[in-house]
Copies of this chain bind each other. A is one copy, B any other.
Amino acid sequence: MQPTERIRRALEQAVSQGEAQGCPPQLAGAIRHAVFPGGARIRPQLCIAVATACGDDEPELTDAASASIELLHCASLVHDDLPCFDDAAVRRGHSSVHRAFGERIAVLAGDALIVLAFQTLALGAARRPARLSRLIGTIGRGVGMPFGIVAGQAWECEPQVDLSDYQRAKTGALFAAATMAGAEAAGAEPEPWRAFGEWLGEAYQVADDIRDVVADPDVIGKPTGRDVALGRPSVAREFGLREAINRFEGLVASTAASIPDCRGAARLRTLVRFESERLVPKAWSERLERIAA
């Protein structure tokens, strides 16, 4: 089965578990709205790709780990879009959860998604209980305090922020959790996979800064120009577009170089190349060269 299909099925199973009769209908609707149709699903894809490279001896647990990470990512998007943060009307080409269901349901939907993520993980570990505690530790660290994505978001509320600390927490932490959880789900050592996730996460964050400045909102499915409007830390804003693209390309190279030597290494490098072109097409860099010439 293709990874994208594995992810779709695992998410469908998780979401439908919460929709039993007797669930408040708006909450159930908001959860589905937050999870489907979804974006690039890059974090769960990473998790499955690393698990596959490590032998994937327990696919049910791999699928649960990848779904859990995507549910946590969706939760963070729902809360980041709230009026008190970005006040975003659009997400992934559709209305944001708080615009479609109201602010109260959006707060609760984010909470329910976090809980659902850990329930999904626990269910998937039924046959491998010994792997569960460590997986929760790894995924929890990617999300919570002191260095996970919630902490990353909280840095936006501080008067003084170190840009790379901020980006590592805001994006890198959950990417590293995805690669390390992929290894752990397959019974392998997670530590060799940390750098791969961290580099890729940093590349994603810089790509996001670049796209906020360059890309058409119709292409990326959410409004652009938000970093400037919200005064958010941004490489593209702080150092200019040329420097941001250089930095992105350097991070992509570091990502590819950090892949541990294993059977699936070539496939992982292809995934990195493909994602890199999708996020920041080479054509943008060439256009900048022509303008500068």
A137–B123 touching, CB < 8 Å: yes
CB within 8 A of A122: which of B133, B154, B156, B165?
A: B133
Closest to A85 in B: B104
Most B Cβ at <10 Å: residue of A85, A148, A151: A151
A20 to B145, CA, bound (A): 8
Residues of B within 8 A of A137 (CB): 119, 122-123
Residues of B within 8 A of A107 (CB): 79, 82, 84-85, 107, 110
Q: Size of chain A's interface in residues, with CB distance under 8 A?
A: 61
A136 to B126, CA, bound (A): 11
Copies of this chain held together in the complex:
2
CB within 8 A of A111: which of B26, B133, B150?
A: B150
A24–B129 touching, CB < 8 Å: no
Minimal beta-carbon separation of A43 from chain B (angstroms): 16
Q: What are 14 sample pairs from A and B whose C-beta atoms fall under 8 A apart?
A: A19-B145, A23-B147, A27-B154, A85-B104, A104-B157, A115-B140, A115-B143, A115-B145, A118-B136, A121-B136, A122-B137, A122-B140, A126-B133, A129-B132
A156 to B108, CA, bound (A): 11
Closest to A116 in B: B144
B18–A146 touching, CB < 8 Å: yes
A125 to B114, CA, bound (A): 20
Per-position contact with B for A1-44: 1 when CB-CB < 8 Å, else 0? 00000000000000000111111111110010000000000000
Most B Cβ at <10 Å: residue of A115, A121, A125: A115
A133–B129 touching, CB < 8 Å: yes
Q: Do A25 and B158 form a contact, CB below 8 Å, given A19-B146, A104-B85?
A: yes
Residues of B within 8 A of A31 (CB): 145
A23 to B125, CA, bound (A): 30
- Is A250 an interface residue when CB atoms closer than 8 A count as contact? no
B115–A155 touching, CB < 8 Å: no
B22–A144 touching, CB < 8 Å: no
Within A92-151, which residues are at the interface with B (CB < 8 Å)? 102-105, 107-108, 110-112, 114-116, 118-119, 121-123, 125-126, 129-130, 132-134, 136-137, 140-141, 143-148, 150-151
- Is A153 an interface residue when CB atoms closer than 8 A count as contact? yes
